[in-house]
Amino acid sequence: MGPGLASADAPTHTLRLDAAAALMVGEQSDRFDLGGGFGLGYELRPVDHLGVEGRYSGFFFPEANGDGFGGYHAAGLALRAHPLPHLSIGDLWIAGGGDVVFTGDLTRFGLEAGAGFEFRLGECFRLGPYARYAHVFQPSSDALGGADAGFLQLGISLAYSPKRRAKDAPAEDAAEDEAVEETIEAPAPMAVAEAEPEPELEELTADDADEAEAVAVRELQEVGARILFPHGSDEPIVDSMAALVRVGQLLEAHPQWEKITIEGHASETGSPEANYRLSQRRAERVRELLILGGVDPSRIEVVARGKDEVEAPGDHARNRRVVFKVHVLRRVPR
């Protein structure tokens, strides 16, 4: 599992405002002092890992001899790659593209490339640093000479991505499930001799437990509800790790809970068959992680619910979850 996987789907539309300090580099670096500028952009992101951005920017520099200011403004298109689209703390991006650059009454061609990281501020906003290099090609016939100009920018970007509506959310990734068709069968019931009644398992809820144990059962279910998954994945998001650790502690502290059922769930999108298999894998993955943490494997069983028991209609991230149920032994009456 990669670090920092998030549950929210990558945004489709992003508006971006940035401000930066800029320094001319290269053969013309002695002509201007440190300057600054801004940029405005709109990104359309049809897939999680890649977007197309239209950008306008303007930068201004004081002349080294103190006679005034110089600068340029540019408009262009760039490809923006997102190597880690589901990172919970923010978005790493790498971009590059071409510009039409305007300096005074002259128009030139330019290229730029940059990288940055935007930290999440709630559901819709991100803020973070970036570095960008812009290169302006200057023809040898130009009155200013044939030396190209280069600009190094260091700045801060603010991004706004409106929250996806439910109908825009992608379906659970069913393609990865099509290679193997599995049939999950319920175990055959065990015969019980009538003359020797055996203990049976019954679900223990907070309503029928004593006060102390009711608190523990409620905590198990509330903490378990914080274990969520990215779409199409059976790996819990990194923010769920603390919840998994706490679940393990609760199971260790309550050995009288003979059996724990982990129910795997999926969101409403995707086919029932794909979601059923995906929810099974989610429950099994949580079981594996708890066993790695020291929980007795014999105490845990898993059940797939698919999208049959959606908790919050339309909230796909919240529905990609697991549910814990506690079972204790009781004696069957003769």
pLDDT exceeds 70 at position 145: no
CA distance 171 to 313: 14
Backbone angles phi, psi at 328, to 5 degrees: -125, 160
For all residues of the chain together, what is the average pLDDT?
A: 80
pLDDT exceeds 90 at position 286: yes
CA distance 160 to 163: 9
Q: What is the pTM of this model?
A: 0.50
pLDDT tens digits, one per residue of 188-220: 555 555 555 555 556 666 555 567 678 888 899
Residue pair 131/112 in contact (Cβ under 8 Å)? The answer is no
Kind and range of the H or E run holding 205? none
pLDDT tens digits, one per residue of 174-192: 444 443 344 444 455 555 5
pLDDT exceeds 70 at position 171: no
Note the pLDDT of residue 265.
92
Domain 198-331 in the same topology as domain 13-164: no
- Is CATH 3.30.1330.60 the right assignment for the domain spanning 198-331? yes
CA distance 229 to 85: 14
The most confident of 120-134, 137-151, 159-173, by mean pLDDT? 120-134
Domain ranges of the chain: 13-164, 198-331
- Choose the CATH number for 13-164 among 1.10.600.10, 2.40.160.20, 1.20.120.330, 2.60.40.1120: 2.40.160.20
